[in-house]
Structure 1
Amino acid sequence: MKDIKYREVWDLDTLFPGGSESDQLHKHIEELVGKVNEFKSKAACFQTPQDVDDSIKVAELIEYISVIRTHLSEANSFITCLLAQNPKDQRAASLQGKAGSISSSFESVVHKTQKILINIEKDLWEALLDTDELRNYKFILNEWREKGRLQLPENEENLVSDLMVDGYHAWGQFYNALVSDIKVYVPINGKVNELSVGQAINLRSHSNEEVRKESHKALEDVWTQKEELFAKILNHVAGFRLQVYKNKGIENVLKEPLLDNHMKEETLNAMWRAVDKYKQPFINYLNKKAEMLGETKLNSYNFWAPITESKQQMNYKEAVDFVTEHIGRFGPEIEQFTTQAFEKGWIESENRPNKSAVAFCAGFPLTGESRVFMTYGGTIKDVLTLAHELGHAFHNHAMKSVEGLNKQYPLSIAETASTFSEMLMLDAAIEKARSNEERLFLLDEKLKRSVMNFMNIHSRFLFEKNFYQERKEGNISSSRLNELMREAINEGYKGSIATIPIHSWIWTPHYYITKSPFYNFPYTFGYLFSLSIYAKAKEEGKEFEPEYLALLRDSGSMTVEDLVMKHLGDDIRSEAFWEKGLKLCIKDAEEFIYLSEQCGEE
């Protein structure tokens, strides 16, 4: 194997030398201001097209939007990396605010441009989309036109945008600030520990059941004390959104998230029907896990409990070799890309204090690079995280040759390449396992992901759907929110867990995201979608790589229905498509139960 440099601290200087003090970065941001002002001038002169030759004017605006978004993404990704490696970098925080202001100003002009497209007469619109200048942007332009129809008149839209800053979005920011400031007091080994919410939640995977139980109780106590406050926040977020929808004539709260995810509602319904039909094997898994832990029904705080102790430990060099070897099985381009990421210092993995705890992948579309951030601790979970984020980076790599606006893919597709890579690592680790106990540990890791997607996320979706339906009639009390959560979890898990966390509506941050509601179903979609791709890749081996790259490149320029039909030849509006991925996961559940019984007999 080619010699690989195993550096654990990334190289950001090849992007903008000097970190947050980089002259090149500051110049880049100042040039962005100029580009946005130039775009504003062009857009101010843009009138509703009256002739097919006006396609040239539309194409010019598209080019401006594409260039500015590319440069904004480059700057924002770099600033995100700076704050991850040093959250106290005040200069980077200041730059983040400036970039956010530029972005807000720019997007408001984009919305005005989109609004103009609505007024184009239908036949002319079709003719414009058939021109050489605009043909490649047909999907994105139709999406703009659809979103433009959902906008209010310009004066009202501007008013709503202004109100969102200190009203709507402020509630979401207040939620994040409130949660980050909460202290949780958890007794561990006879000593009461002051923890953040994140630290207390992380104790759910602690090896000691008493610690898991005490952490759960301490968190529930905190949520009970503050549930009235959080109920007000959630009611305000939903109330503002529903009022805007009402003014726009939107009755279905799923319209916006479905449009954002390039998806039809019949596809979403088919997915959930298939998931609901095949929950029994996962109920069997949860019941078996409960039995192994000496329970009649699995307590929610024991879901993340380690079922056995993993003996698989890898130092960073071994992890790099493992990931490169097994990813390389599926094609030369993904192998070469992965090797390059390690060689060129694209990965920050050093285990040190005072860095962000959240792993991520940042894309740099201007330079065609990515950066992966994580803290590597030597466990199989760390190997999976490394592979997961490298999957995101490979998706960015695949999009290098795609024209600007078509690079942006929806959340529903965003987890495709990452989950694909993660599945590769899990199967390779199971294959490498030297005992049934080790296989059991790894299967448990896989099945936790399945249960989270098929049961937990389903319950989140059900809660949010029922919540919005009731919120149309007025504010909902904290006690009713608890009831709605209990009902949703019982339905999502089919009654298979005990000690139901009725306050999950508080500590699940997705409900408070003001960008879009229903920040849940795209994860289940992406998980099952990637499993279908993975199954095909296993059948075809390295011959599948060109198909895989083509699918990733098309991920931003068509609906998910068209994407799957083009590249997989399947209709995802049918339950049969979703059953393929579900059946792969069912095999894991059956294998887990079989191995657990084998281990019990030994």
Structure 2
Amino acid sequence: MSEADQQWDLSPLYKGPDDPELSRALADAAAVAEQFRRDFRGRIAADSLSADLLAAALRGYRELQQTLLLPYLYAQLLFSADSEPDAHKALIARVREAWSAISEQTLFFELEILRIDEEHFSRLVKDPEIADYRHYLEQLRVHTPYTLSEEVEQALKRKDLSGREAFVQLFDELSAGLRFSFRMPGEEDEREVTGEELLSLLYHADRSVRETAFSTFLRKHAEQSLVLTSCFNNILLDHGREAELRGYPDLMTPTHLASETAPEMVERMMEVSEQNYALAQDYFALKKTLLGYETLKNTDLYAPVGGEGKHYSLDEARRLVLDSFGGFSPRLAEAAAAFFDERRIDLLPRPGKSGGAFCMGMMPGRLPYVLTNFTGTLRDVSTLAHELGHGVHYTLSQKQHLFHFHAPLPFAETASVFAEMLLTRHLLQHERDRETRIALLCAKIEDIIATTFRQNVLTRFELAAHRQRGEGLLSADDFCRLWWDENKKLFGDKVEMIEPYRWGWSYISHFIHARFYCYSYVFGELLTLSLYQRYLEEGSPFVPKYLDLLASGGSDRPQALLDPFAIDLADPGFWQKGYDVVRGLLDELRAVLD
């Protein structure tokens, strides 16, 4: 893979941050927003509202959103690839301000939809012109009890720009700008490295390297405690005050509404997860034996065993992922290959680039982009499969209109986790070396632990922090204590946490970007384990049903989308089945070890 192919090409979107087309799009969006307001304000909630008028308004609103989304998403991609240039910072600030201003202009539209008489609304959504928007409209109207007047909603949006969103931007810039002085393995001198390079060393074979690297990473964040604690305090306070203002019955209510998940179902899922913490502890004890340690530290959780220390080139990783996708469906492999062929993927870490990995879904008519920080580990290969799973999901849902394009939050991780399972089984089927098979099983079990149990811990920590913030300002020590206590419940007496891990909360961007997002990982992982088990049982008849699920985007309720698979999300036994798969993987690992 050439050097150019390792970075994405954003030129099909815009030629650069100073592209006149970008400025024109922002100006056009502002003008269209003003016209939209003149054309429809006061007419949507009227008793005389016709299906034709509502359909015209929905089309106009959708087109306006897409006009504004392109520069907005481009700015985010540009900033994620390199946050250092002032031009990139200026552009993302500019598009956020434009988004805020246009959102104020058009805020009336969704508010008026909420005020349509229920009987009148029921007649309207039966009209063929409106039927395609039904789920969007119904989902919008569940927010009716918590929506305020247009003037107050406008004030909240205006406040967010210099309030919550400003702290999000501060956190992002600080995180992306952190540099660490560290002597990398095999090198003689210390040099400046990125956080991603340090975190990748958690998979290094040398125990002291793992602990030193993670400690260096966490202590740098501790040095930034003033800024990080301020970001967390203000974002938590903002959410609590808004929840109070809107009258939400619970801090998680807005997430449940957006995710279309019942609070009781999510709590049941989390309780089942906690009841299975012993499974994770069984694996930790097994890992300690495999490593030959007297004590297992949390920096040892991803230590390589057997053949896990193998390094993969980008070309190898690409081939493995595409082959595993192709074994399930050629359509899946073709959609994933297009990311490389069309340079819609940015692969390697570098200064200024955002850490971690993500897939930017874009919108109908614009194919998604993927960012990773590939360093050659088995984990990185799995991450590549994960993000390309997201990418395939967004590719298949292109047939949906904008309002049904994104899958509900709990489904957001389904395709990505399924992709990881395809990769793992592909590797296991073609690998005969005992040590490598051990490594593959350990990696998969560790990944499931990270995506279920750990995300459950993160959700409990976040909820505890939000609740305690409602009682007063939290100190850095408060955050560290809450983090330590929740992690202790998972690790029990099987894992010893290193002291700097008290700061493990401080770098997790989900707490900053999306309230209580982490439970969706638990949902997605357990759901996917169940779906994958169905695939193993049904074989090829399962494939079209699964592809249809991905292509459905967010066009219906989660339960309705799962009806073809006869899955009942309200059944606690369903969530337990996911953990039964984990138990089966543990048994498979023990069989290889015997």
| TM-score, normalization by structure 1 | 0.87
Q: Which amino acid aligns with 2:265?
A: T
Q: 1:511 to 1:324 in 2, by over 3 A?
A: closer
Is 127-136 or 79-88 further displaced after alignment? 79-88
* Deviation per residue, 1:452-496 (Å, 9 max, x gap): 123211111111222222222222333333322222112233443
Distance 1:418 1:554 in 2: 16
Specify the alignment match of 1:63 in structure 2. 59
**Alignment partner, residue 123 of structure 1:** 119
Aligned to 2:155: 159
CA gap of 1:480–1:339, structure 2 versus 1, over 3 A, is: closer
**Is 1:79–1:96's contact at 8 Å kept on the other side of the alignment?**
yes
In the alignment, is the contact (CA less than 8 A) between 1:331 and 1:543 conserved in 2?
Answer: no
User: 332-341 or 126-135: which moved more?
Assistant: 332-341
Q: Which runs of 5+ in 1 are unaligned?
A: none
**Is the 8 Å Cα contact of residues 5 and 342 (structure 1) preserved in structure 2?**
no
Q: Which amino acid aligns with 2:164?
A: Y
1:35 aligns with 2:32: yes
- Asked if the contact 1:262/1:558 (under 8 Å) is kept, the reply is no
Give the equivalent residue in structure 2 for 1:484: 482
Matched, 1:15 2:12: yes
Establish whether residue 48 from structure 1 lines up as the match of residue 45 from structure 2: yes
CA distance in 2, matches of 1:342, 1:227: 39
Residues 1:92 and 1:354: Cα distance change in structure 2 (over 3 Å): closer
Bigger shift: residues 242-251 or 228-237: 228-237
Q: Deviation at 1:119?
A: 2.4
Alignment of 1:350-361 (within 5 A): 358-361=356-359
Q: Which residue of 2 aligns with 1:288?
A: 286
CA gap of 1:82–1:531, structure 2 versus 1, over 3 A, is same
| Letter paired with 1:67 | E
Aligned pair partner of 1:474 in 472, 475, 482 = 472
Structure 2 residue matching 1:557: 3-state secondary structure:
coil
Cα separation, partners in 2 of 1:5 and 1:68, compared to 1, 3 Å: farther
Offset of 1:82 from its aligned partner? 4.0
Say whether residues 1:304 and 2:314 are aligned partners: no
Per-residue deviation, 1:21? 5.4
Query: Kindly tell me: are residues 343 and 239 of structure 1, through their superposed partners in 2, closer, same or farther at Cα, counting changes over 3 Å?
Result: closer
Letter in 2 for 1:510: H
- Deviation, 1:166, is 1.9
2:258 to 257, 260, 273: 260
Residue 397 of structure 1 is matched in structure 2 by 395
Distance 1:467 1:450 in 2: 25
Structure 2 residue aligned with 1:499? 497
The aligned residue for residue 272 of structure 1 is 270
**Percent of aligned positions with the same letter in both sequences?**
21
Report the AA paired with residue 210 of structure 1: S
Which residue of the partner structure matches residue 97 of structure 2? Answer: 101
* Cα distance change, pair 297–125 in 1 and its aligned pair in 2 (3 A): farther
Amino acid at match of 2:502: I
**Deviation readout 1:491-547 (Å, 9 max, x if unpaired):** 23344321252222323232233xx42121011111222222222223333332321
Q: Which residue, out of 416, 419, 422, partners 1:421? A: 419
Question: 1:453/1:86 Cα in 2 relative to 1: closer, same or farther (>3 Å)?
Answer: closer
Q: Is the 8 A contact 1:278 1:582 kept in 2?
A: yes
Distance of 2:545 and 2:576 partners within structure 1? 22
Kept in 1, the 8 Å contact 2:288–2:294? The answer is: yes
* CA–CA separation in structure 1 for the residues paired with 2:179 and 2:273: 37
**Structure-2 residue corresponding to 1:561:** 559
Give the secondary-structure state (helix, strand or coil) at the position aligned to 1:298. coil
What secondary structure, in the 3-state scheme, does the structure 2 residue paired with 1:542 have?
Answer: coil
Contact 1:230 / 1:506 at 8 angstroms: preserved in 2? yes
- What runs of 5+ residues in structure 2 fail to find an aligned partner? none
- Residues of 2 paired with 1:207 and 1:264: CA distance? 43
Which deviates more, 568-577 or 316-325?
316-325
Partner AA of 1:145 in structure 2: R
Classify 1:159/1:371 alpha carbon distance in 2 versus 1 (closer, same or farther; 3 Å). Answer: closer
Distance in 2, matches of 1:193 and 1:213, equals 18
Letter in 2 for 1:534: Y
Give the aligned residue type for 2:56: E
Q: Give the aligned residue type for 1:34.
A: A
> Residues 532 and 65 of structure 1: is their aligned pair in 2 closer, same or farther, counting only changes over 3 Å?
farther
Indicate conservation of the 8 Å contact 2:25/2:68, yes or no: no
1:174 aligns with 2:153: no
Count of paired positions: 590
Indicate conservation of the 8 Å contact 2:197/2:349, yes or no.
Answer: no
Deviations 1:292-344 (A, max 9, x none): 33434421122222223437555544444433333122234324434555444
**CA offsets, 1:209-264, max 9 Å, x none?**
11222234445545555546544442222222212221222230010111111211
CA–CA distance in structure 1, aligned partners of residues 120 and 249 of structure 2: 30
Whole-angstrom distance in 1 between the partners of 2:409 and 2:277: 24
> How far apart are the structure 1 equivalents of 2:350 and 2:454?
32
Question: Partner residue of 1:215?
Answer: 213
Partner Cα distance (1:478, 1:349) in 2: 34
Give the SS at the match of 2:540. helix
Instruction: Call closer, same or farther: CA 1:235–1:330 in 2, change over 3 Å.
Output: same
Structural mapping, 1:128-139, within 5 Å: 128-139=124-135
> Which position in structure 2 is the counterpart of 1:327?
325
What residue identity is the alignment partner of 2:45? T
Within a 5 Å distance, the mapping from 1:198-213 to structure 2 comes to: 198-213=196-211
Distance 1:172-1:532 versus aligned 2 partners, 3 A rule = same
Asked if 2 retains the 8 angstrom alpha-carbon contact of 1:391 and 1:420, the reply is yes
Q: Name the structure 2 match of 1:574.
A: 571
Change (3 A) 1:179 1:337: closer
Distance 1:174 1:348, change over 3 A: closer
> Which of 547, 550, 555 is residue 549 of structure 1 equivalent to?
547
Q: Residue 114 of structure 1: CA displacement?
A: 1.8
Corresponding residue SS for 1:502: helix
Q: Which one of 71, 86, 110 corresponds to residue 75 of structure 1?
A: 71
Q: Can you list the C-alpha shifts for 1:13-45, whole angstroms capped at 9, x where unaligned?
A: 773474445555554444333333332323435
CA distance in 1: counterparts of 2:466 and 2:241, whole angstroms: 12
Contact 1:85/1:355 (8 A) holds in 2: yes
**Deviations, residues 356-412 of structure 1 (Å, cap 9, x unaligned):** 554433344353533334465555444333322222221122112223311122332
Corresponding residue SS for 1:497: coil
For residue 582 of structure 2, the aligned residue among 575, 582, 585 is 585
TM-score by length of 2: 0.88
**SS of aligned partner of 2:368:** strand
Instruction: Give distance in 1, aligned partners of 2:380 and 2:273.
Output: 29
Equivalent in the alignment of 2:522: 524
What secondary structure, in the 3-state scheme, does the structure 1 residue paired with 2:369 have? Answer: strand
Q: Cα RMSD between the aligned structures?
A: 3.2
Distance 1:149 1:399 in 2: 31
